[in-house]
Chain A
């Protein structure tokens, strides 16, 4: 893996501005600033073909392992409650068939020795689809350095359309799919508007209309729910369950599902699959014959050892561990043991809502990234996200930042070196 641009003089402000304009118009990137700083870099990583093949293989294998683990854990309501799920969510999960999500994203890092490690699975409401589909293509069209590289994300849009089409199979003609988001979150709204644009044409051919709305636009209807006045046959939720649980829209959706009036394309299963406690469960079952040979091997070789914080082996040193809140998203509530006092670490243990993961010494990279004062070269770490669409790998989403990748990290495009 290498970075295409490592010297700031190779980036020009005019080129960057043109790139951003096109990203806004073609990728609906209205939200390309974070705390006033640019998030999209007109820069990229290039993966070796062997690395890319490995990541695609691991994505498929981990998809199967997570689905198997989720299905096993979902049967045990008491265990789910112990993992922090409210009782009502645990009961709903127990009644749900845990499937590979329409779209999820496995986040991998490469250590200093070149080995790839899975850090987490974003299975509930993964972000970055616009960047992976539209902005990645624009970087390829903008950077001469990318001209000879493979464009691995070119099939992502079609994969998503196929997955949604399959999930809606059997709906009567003139049905409607609702994409429900929060219009107060510009990033989520723009991603769903982009998804709506992606799906509208192909689904229209199947007789399915796509409606975009805020959770406040959900209403009970004569037979189920409506969104912006349109009765829904199916619903895709792009609002985190944590913020919806117990709200009127949550009850409305699940009442309609229970009555058989609504097909929910992403239920609570995604939240279970991305729960950090499931990482610990998978690590604990790395020798379990219920997992197949490939899955057991991938876990042992590519998942950093992970335990519930109060089950961590006593010989593990705090400085070699990273604590992660079980429901944390996008780097929230992630703490490196080396940065914490023993007392603060003990407080995390007392909360019992954390897992600890063996720290991965991630390999450093130098990259040019944009700032509000112009491009700079900086040393940082890349997290390579791998989209899994109903299981198989379908595209990349790379971010570059500090040792904890948060919303302040920069997005980089992802390409693959030409085969020798």
Chain B
């Protein structure tokens, strides 16, 4: 029984191949969900398009090496920057645990087509200077969205458990020396235990100021 056939199944393997030593941390969840194959066809690749908060974060880290950047904003705003991030020497790891389905409370069609599209283009830089983890900034959904009109949509909102996040010792073995954290409304509650683990292991965590934050 193989579910993730076609675009998303192939994309999972492409993202893992391009993640180098970080391959275990490409979360498989959005690649295995329940979206019809037609809805998860690769979307249009939008190379070089970078959302303002991510652009700001990249400016903030400058030419630093040995860094991990966790980006906790909407993945449909960050996945289009995959090629640019690769060009800048970053391994890109989508760490998105959303169960994709349609209809769903947190919509999935664009995410699925972006994962498939940018999976075709992602590469592992020859001499990586760091890693970017693209988190799911949409995971909490929109407040108050559940009502009678949404009764038929799968409630796929979730909180991270951090089980699928790389242990601090693993990051240190990859010569990561600093963690930068980009989020729109401060560090989310569900991710604070992970931040504490990083800090306890001696990895400094630098919040990146969001322009609208």
Contacts and interface: CB of A to CB of B under 8 A. Distances in A.
Interface of A: 17, 20-21, 24-26, 28-31, 33-38, 134, 183-184, 186, 189-190, 193, 197-198, 212-214, 216-217, 219, 226, 228-229, 372-373
B28 A30 contact: yes
Given A21-B13, A186-B161, A372-B166, A28 B155 contact: no
Contact of B170 (A30, A198, A229, A373): A373
Nearest to B139: A184
29 contacts: A17-B16, A17-B23, A20-B24, A21-B12, A21-B13, A24-B4, A24-B32, A29-B28, A30-B97, A35-B162, A36-B166, A36-B170, A37-B167, A183-B156, A183-B157, A183-B158, A184-B157, A184-B158, A184-B159, A193-B33, A193-B34, A193-B99, A197-B1, A198-B1, A213-B155, A217-B153, A217-B155, A372-B24, A372-B166
A192 B3 CA distance: 14
Contacts of A35: 162-163, 167
Interface in B123-182: 146, 151-159, 161-167, 169-170, 173
A30 B152 contact: no
Interface in B2-24: 2-4, 9, 12-13, 16, 23-24
Contacts of A190: 29, 32
B151 to A, nearest CB: 5
Nearest to A17: B23
Contacts of B40: none
A35 B3 CA distance: 26
A134 B2 CA distance: 10
Nearest to B194: A36
B151 A217 contact: yes
Given A17-B23, A372-B170, A28 B164 contact: no
B181 to A, nearest CB: 17
B27 interface: yes
B156 A28 contact: no
Given A26-B2, A30-B29, A31-B164, A229 B24 contact: no
Nearest to B5: A25
B9 A25 contact: yes
Given A33-B164, A184-B159, A373 B173 contact: yes
Contacts of B166: 36, 372
B108 to A, nearest CB: 12
Contacts of A229: 151-152
A25 B4 CA distance: 6
Nearest to B168: A36
A186 to B, nearest CB: 6
A244 B28 CA distance: 28
Nearest to A372: B170
Task: Give 6 nearest A-B pairs by CB, closest first.
Answer: A229-B152, A36-B167, A214-B155, A216-B155, A30-B29, A30-B28
Contacts of B1: 26, 134, 197-198
Interface string B21-57: 0011101110111100000000000000000000000
Given A20-B24, A25-B2, A216-B146, A30 B32 contact: yes
A33 B163 contact: yes
A183 B155 CA distance: 7
B3 A197 contact: yes
Given A21-B16, A373-B170, A373-B173, A228 B152 contact: yes
Contacts of B99: 183, 186, 189, 193
Contacts of B97: 30, 186
A395 to B, nearest CB: 16
B149 to A, nearest CB: 11
A17 B151 CA distance: 40
B156 A25 contact: no
A33 B169 CA distance: 15
Contact of B27 (A28, A30, A214, A219): A30
Nearest to A36: B167
Given A25-B32, A33-B164, A36-B165, 16 more contacts: A21-B12, A24-B32, A25-B9, A28-B32, A30-B28, A36-B162, A36-B170, A184-B159, A186-B164, A193-B99, A197-B1, A198-B1, A212-B34, A214-B156, A228-B153, A373-B173
A342 B173 CA distance: 42
Contacts of A213: 154-155
B2 A217 contact: no
Nearest to A16: B24
